[in-house]
Amino acid sequence: MKDQELIALADKARAMAYAPYSNYRVGAALLTGSGKVYTGVNVENASYGLAICAERTAAVKAVSAGEREFVAIAVVTDNGGSPCGACRQVLAEFGPKLRIILADSAGKSREYSMSELLPDS
Ligand code: THU
C-alpha cells in the first residue's frame, strides 16, 4: 500500500472524529503485518480527560482483531500534529519499527520512525 493511500484512508476516517470539545479532529490509518488497514478517530467525552486519541483507537481495533505487528500509520489533522506520548508508547508495543506518517489537511506530510518519536524505549 502506498503512503498516499494510507493518508487518504486516515483523512476519510477523520470525518467520523468525535471532537466537540477541542474541535481538533484526528484520523488515523494503521497498516498491519497482515496487510490490513485499521482506521481510528479521536473520541472525546464530557469528562475531558477521558478523550481517546485516533492512534490508540486504531491500535486497539487492530489488536482486538488479532493483529500483533504494526507496519505504518498515517495520521491526519488540520496542522500535521504529532502523536502524544501515550500513543507513542502504545504504538511501540506492537511496532518497534513502525513508520509514522503525519499529514495536514492540505496534504503536506512528513515521516518519522518509531525510534525517533520514542527513543530508548
Ligand atoms: N489527539 C489525537 O487523537 N491524536 C493526537 O496525536 C493528538 C491529540 C486528540 C485528543 C483530543 O481529542 C484532541 O486531539 C485534542 O487534543
At 39 the three-state DSSP class reads: strand
Nearest CA, atom 6, ligand 1: 83
Mean pLDDT, the chain, rounded, equals 98
pLDDT of residue 105: 93
* Mean pLDDT within 97-106: 97
* Mean pLDDT within 33-56: 98
What's the 1 CA to ligand 1 centre distance in angstroms? 25
pLDDT of residue 89: 98
* Mean pLDDT within 70-87: 98
pLDDT-based confidence at 53, cuts 50/70/90? very high
The fraction of the chain above a pLDDT of 90, given in percent, is 99
Q: Which residues are catalytic?
A: 55
* Ligand 1 atom, smallest distance to 25 CA: 14
* Ligand 1 atom, smallest distance to 87 CA: 6
pLDDT-based confidence at 45, cuts 50/70/90? very high
Starting at the earlier edge strand, list the strands of the sheet with 99-104: 37-41, 27-32, 70-77, 99-104, 109-113
Cell (9 digits) for 55: 492512534
pLDDT of residue 12: 98
Q: How many CB atoms lie within 10 A of CB 91?
A: 24
What's the 33 CA to ligand 1 centre distance in angstroms? 25
